[in-house]
């Protein structure tokens, strides 16, 4: 079960908004956005699994070419649901996954030097089919496979729009396999479409379980009971606290494998809620600045600021009960300075430090909540994706802005094109 | 050369403070902090190189056990100055480096499963010699080497205080080699001590060049000419802009290999400047919240917020002229939608997107500066470390706070200990 623990002080803030949950749910439904309906598409799941079976054993390397929403969900799935190191023996049953979300020439060149081109599948992800960074990456690797006389239809898969864009044109012309990003699913909401599911399935992640977990959370999202609707409670709090000057949302997972979940959320929150204009056209310049932190690591980097600096942050802790493995800290040396570590397991130390960090923040009057999962598995990760996508949709309603567009990135694209031509 | 480009609007802010540079420099010198003098210690450099030569060929894996300032500099050195992937052929001449800066049992267990214990050197880093996370990690791996009858003196090196703490006691008793973190160098300022230099030297990084680059920047730091003193200009701007509501400092390198530099800086800025009390004991709760972003990647994640959200950020771009490699984007398909990429190199695309992002921010009246280096090498990385350490020291003077302590992390430690016993 995914649990939300809010502290006493924050519950009061949530209850202010209990009459809004019904109308907001209705407003979100009417927007016809796919983030909450896409998980009913069982046909795509079957198509993905059929593709995965058809290429089994053919590839040693999978390289995802994409940026932003085309990469962040996949990076999160890889980190949370497979071993942390490519060299780990458990990874030998599956191809190694590389996600290239930048165009730095050193990144491209060094990737080329570690993959076995003849046994590599490139997954090219771009909703518009013409994202310049992704097209540039694709062109670079396509040149390599062409030079090596490797057939494009065996070494590339495209994930793009159903009809529009360059990738669709090429796919049609050269019989390159492809999957579809639905019209009504924006990049940052696309992890439970082929964008995240195809690479995940190729490295052995059970995508049916991911979707099952998302379903459980969607049921919670659809309820208008404020006690049960976790996404609404999260959004209500973020909104209420932003009115009190908490303009920064810190997501702090206490689990190494959830670090990239906070990266994924960074995009979701920043692009969805950072908006110049509200739905009535008023200039509002709203937005919550997402900050990623990792427990316990960042206690030794950010806690000083979080406890003593400006009280401008709202903290969302992600907590994991069972890390999948655990062991006691062995007592090698008898020394009073470390006596308190005796008979303590690493999981217990993680949990206790989390509590220490939280109690310290509470004493310093910094607002926080904890979202807990039993363990890191497909169901819970699917549920967490859905939780924060739904919370972000609610947050758009609170702010009365469009949470599903991104008009503010156009200007730099125009300038870049102009400078290049 | 390391260059600072400030835009016209920001220069006015800097010039407000030109009478402060002399007094602040003098105040910093009198604090007797080691961050700017440690680079004169050539003996330690020689000791490190002698140790590295004495173990040449003995280890396939180096595992650093440390957290916060004991890890972040090393992670940055590894990413910026060696290939991005462990599997890269260039890495075959040196041991593979793992930096463990968390106590998640899955991280420890999976690391154990990828290293060859018989050929592993563990570098245990803790200034106090009793950091609980580091002692717990050390105990875990020490138990493993003991069980395998591997001599501790051949598989461990300690980096710790000269006299105090458990690690010093063990080192003395068991003849475990050790290096010293000087008294007057705090963890977040320690990358140019053995903390960063020993692991760096073991994986083939030229630490003499690192120090040389730091020297060049220190000369710049010691000048009281406001036109030339880059660290002072950076600090003056951060301070002036914080007075205008820019309480978030975004560091955005446009180079894959500088991403972790921004992580290193996150700790430096947060712990040094996030303070409840000023030097006169007044409650001030000051602090700048550091945010790490990566170009061009985060254009597709954060630009929307940066351009349209609240105008509460100051942007520091890190720019690299030469990425060490470059190639033109091949034109595989004739299509008008990508015509503007024709004959453009990846480096040019990086640079042009950076300009596009910056011009867009400027049009939206968001303040920014650019710090540029010719290429990513030891000298420039050493110089950048020194630049931001010096800027942070100046910033402490501007705020009239102690930039070198971290009183706000004690409370959570006390609570954690209490909960465990």
Using CB atoms, which residue from A103, A308, A345 is nearest to B275?
A: A308
Burial of B331 (0-12, 13-18, 19+ CB in 10 A): middle
Cis peptide bond prior to B296, omega within 30° of 0: yes
Using CB atoms, which residue from A140, A296, A364 is nearest to B329?
A: A140
Pick the catalytic residue: B93, B300, B333, B418?
Answer: B300
Q: Which residues in A lie closer than 8 A to residue B292 (C-beta atoms)? A: 292
Q: What is the DSSP string of B175-223?
A: T--EEE--TT--GGG-TTSHHHHHHHHHTT--HHHHHHHHHHHHHHHH-
Active site annotation includes B271: yes
Burial pattern A299-314, b for ≥16 Cβ within 10 A else e, equals bbbbbbbbbbbbebbb
- Mean per-residue pLDDT for A150-169? 97
Which of A70, A88, A105 is best to mutate for the B interface (most B CBs within 10 A)?
Answer: A105
* Cβ-based neighbour number of residue B163 at 10 Å: 11
Residues A171-205: pLDDT tens digits? 999 999 999 999 999 999 999 999 999 999 999 99
Using CB atoms, which residue from B68, B301, B347 is nearest to A270?
A: B301
A149: left (phi over 0), alpha (psi -120 to 50) or beta: left
Residues whose CB falls within 8 Å of the CB of residue B198, separated by 6 or more in sequence, listed in order: B48, B51, B52, B123, B157, B159, B179
Q: Specify the pLDDT at position A144.
A: 98
Q: Which residues in B lie closer than 8 A to residue A323 (C-beta atoms)? A: 104-106
- Cβ contacts from A onto B, under 8 A: 396
Residue B180 distance to chain A (closest CA, Å)? 20
Residues B138-151: pLDDT tens digits? 999 999 999 999 99
Which of A250, A257, A283, A304 is best to mutate for the B interface (most B CBs within 10 A)?
Answer: A304
Angstrom distance (rounded) from CA A91 to CA A332: 33
- C-alpha closest to that of A135 among A158, A107, A113, A151: A158
- Say whether A84 and B106 touch across the interface (CB within 8 A): yes
Q: Which residues in A lie closer than 8 A to residue B267 (C-beta atoms)? A: 300-302
B328: DSSP letter: B
Q: Which residues in A lie closer than 8 A to residue B274 (C-beta atoms)? A: 304-309
Q: Which residues in A lie closer than 8 A to residue B350 (C-beta atoms)? A: 103-105
How many residues are present in chain A?
421
Provide the angle, in degrees to the nearest 10, between the axes of the packed helices B207-222 and B230-243. 60
Active site annotation includes B119: no
Residue A227 distance to chain B (closest CA, Å)? 30
**A3-30+209-409: which CATH number, 1.10.287.130, 3.40.50.10490, 3.20.20.390, 3.20.20.70?**
3.40.50.10490
Q: Which residues in B lie closer than 8 A to residue A112 (C-beta atoms)? A: none
Token couple for B110:
């999976």
Average pLDDT, chain A: 96
Q: Specify the pLDDT at position B343.
A: 87
Using CB atoms, which residue from B72, B255, B309 is nearest to A274?
A: B309
Strands B156-160 vs B178-180: parallel, antiparallel or unpaired: parallel
Residues A326-343: pLDDT tens digits? 999 998 888 888 899 988
Share of residues in chain A with pLDDT > 90 (%): 93
Q: State the greatest distance between any 2 C-alpha atoms of chain A, in Å, as a whole number.
A: 72
Q: Which residues in B lie closer than 8 A to residue A106 (C-beta atoms)? A: 84, 255-257, 323-325
- Say whether A299 and B412 touch across the interface (CB within 8 A): yes
Cis peptide bond prior to B330, omega within 30° of 0: no
B311, closest residue in chain A (CA to CA):
A285
Whether A34-205 and A3-30+209-409 are alike in CATH topology: the answer is yes
Give the pLDDT band of residue A8 (cuts 50, 70, 90). low
- Mean per-residue pLDDT for B123-150? 97
Residue B115 distance to chain A (closest CA, Å)? 9
Q: Specify the pLDDT at position B337.
A: 86
Token couple for B188:
């977040």
Residue A400 has pLDDT above 70, yes or no: yes
Using CB atoms, which residue from B107, B297, B327 is nearest to A105?
A: B327
- Mean per-residue pLDDT for A52-57? 97
- Mean per-residue pLDDT for B162-177? 96
* Cβ-based neighbour number of residue A410 at 10 Å: 13
Q: Specify the pLDDT at position A15.
A: 82
More confident residue, B333 or B327: B327
Q: What is the DSSP string of A11-62?
A: HHHHHTTGGGHHHHHHHHHHTT-GGGTGGG-HHHHHHHHHHHHHTTTS-SEE
Residue A391 has pLDDT above 70, yes or no: yes
Q: Specify the pLDDT at position A3.
A: 96
Residues A269-291: pLDDT tens digits? 999 999 999 999 999 999 999 99
Least reliable range by pLDDT among A125-129, A251-255, A344-348, B5-9: B5-9
Q: What is the CATH number of domain A34-205?
A: 3.40.50.10490
ipTM for the assembly: 0.97
Residue A147 has pLDDT above 90, yes or no: yes
Which of B104, B110, B345 is best to mutate for the A interface (most A CBs within 10 A)?
Answer: B104
- Domain ranges for chain B, please list them: 3-30+209-409, 34-205
Give the pLDDT band of residue B111 (cuts 50, 70, 90). very high
Residue B294 has pLDDT above 90, yes or no: yes
Give B291's strand partners: B250
Whether residue B330 contacts residue A143, with contact meaning beta carbons closer than 8 Å, is answered with: yes
- Say whether A84 and B103 touch across the interface (CB within 8 A): no
Pick the catalytic residue: A271, A378, A379, A389?
Answer: A271
Angstrom distance (rounded) from CA A342 to CA A393: 46
Give the pLDDT band of residue A352 (cuts 50, 70, 90). very high
- Say whether B359 and A132 touch across the interface (CB within 8 A): no
Angstrom distance (rounded) from CA B133 to CA A346: 9
Using CB atoms, which residue from B84, B165, B346 is nearest to A110?
A: B84
- Say whether A133 and B296 touch across the interface (CB within 8 A): yes
Q: Which residues in A lie closer than 8 A to residue B293 (C-beta atoms)? A: none
A348, closest residue in chain B (CA to CA):
B420
- Say whether B412 and A300 touch across the interface (CB within 8 A): no
Q: Specify the pLDDT at position A6.
A: 82
Active site annotation includes A93: no
Q: Which residues in A lie closer than 8 A to residue B83 (C-beta atoms)? A: 110, 113
Angstrom distance (rounded) from CA B56 to CA B58: 6
Whether residue B265 contacts residue B290, with contact meaning beta carbons closer than 8 Å, is answered with: yes
- Say whether A104 and B350 touch across the interface (CB within 8 A): yes
Residue A42 has pLDDT above 90, yes or no: yes
Give B292's strand partners: B251
Which of A152, A409, A414 is best to mutate for the B interface (most B CBs within 10 A)?
Answer: A409
Average pLDDT, chain B: 96
Residue B8 has pLDDT above 80, yes or no: no
More confident residue, B336 or B264: B264
The continuous run of DSSP H or E covering A114 comes out as helix A105-114
Residue A222 has pLDDT above 90, yes or no: yes
Long-range contact list for A165-173, CB < 8 A, 24+ apart?
A: A165/A126, A165/A127, A165/A128, A165/A129, A165/A130, A165/B337, A166/A129, A166/A130, A166/A135, A166/B333, A166/B335, A166/B337, A166/B338, A167/A124, A167/A126, A167/A129, A167/A130, A167/A138, A168/A129, A169/A129, A169/B333, A169/B335, A170/B333
- At residue A121, what are phi and psi to the nearest 5 degrees? -110, 125
Residues B84-105: pLDDT tens digits? 999 999 888 899 999 999 999 9
Burial pattern A13-40, b for ≥16 Cβ within 10 A else e, equals bbeebeebbeebbeebeeeebbbbebbe
């Amino acid at each position: 079960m995914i649990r939300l623990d809010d502290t006493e002080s924050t519950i009061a803030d949530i209850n202010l908004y209990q009459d809004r949950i019904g109308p907001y749910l209705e407003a979100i439904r009417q927007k016809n956005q796919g983030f909450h309906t896409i998980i009913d598409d069982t046909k795509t799941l079957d198509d993905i699994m059929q593709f995965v079976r058809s290429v089994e054993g053919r590839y040693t390397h999978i390289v995802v070419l994409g940026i932003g929403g085309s990469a962040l969900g996949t990076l999160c799935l890889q980190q949370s649901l497979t071993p942390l190191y490519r060299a780990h023996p458990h990874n030998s049953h599956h191809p190694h996954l590389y996600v290239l979300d930048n165009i730095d020439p050193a990144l491209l060149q060094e990737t080329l030097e570690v993959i076995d081109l003849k046994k590599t599948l490139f997954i090219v992800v771009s909703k518009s089919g013409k994202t310049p960074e992704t097209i540039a990456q694709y062109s670079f690797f396509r040149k390599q496979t062409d030079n090596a006389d490797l057939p494009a239809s065996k070494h590339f898969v495209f994930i793009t729009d159903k009809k529009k864009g360059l990738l669709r044109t090429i796919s049609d012309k050269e019989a390159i396999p492809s999957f579809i990003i639905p019209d009504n699913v924006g990049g940052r909401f696309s992890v439970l479409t082929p964008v995240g599911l195809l690479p995940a399935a190729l490295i052995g992640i059970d995508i049916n379980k991911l979707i099952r977990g998302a379903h459980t959370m969607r049921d919670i999202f659809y309820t208008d009971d404020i006690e049960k609707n976790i996404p609404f409670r999260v959004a209500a709090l973020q909104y209420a606290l932003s009115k009190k000057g908490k303009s920064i949302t810190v997501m702090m997972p206490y689990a190494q494998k959830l670090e990239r979940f906070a990266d994924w959320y960074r995009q979701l929150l920043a692009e969805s809620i950072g908006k110049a204009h509200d739905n009535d056209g008023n200039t509002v310049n709203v937005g919550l600045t997402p900050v990623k932190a990792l427990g316990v690591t960042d206690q030794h980097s950010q806690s000083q600021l979080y406890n003593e600096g400006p009280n401008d942050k709202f903290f969302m802790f992600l907590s994991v009960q069972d890390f999948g493995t655990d062991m006691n800290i062995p007592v090698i040396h008898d020394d009073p300075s470390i006596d308190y570590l005796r008979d303590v397991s690493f999981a217990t130390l993680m949990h206790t430090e989390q509590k220490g960090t939280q109690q310290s923040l509470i004493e310093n009057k910094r607002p926080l909540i904890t979202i807990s999962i039993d363990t890191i598995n497909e169901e819970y990760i699917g549920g967490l994706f859905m939780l924060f996508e739904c919370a972000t949709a609610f947050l758009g309603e609170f702010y009365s802005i469009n949470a599903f567009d991104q008009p503010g990135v156009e200007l730099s694209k125009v300038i870049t094109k102009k400078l290049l031509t």
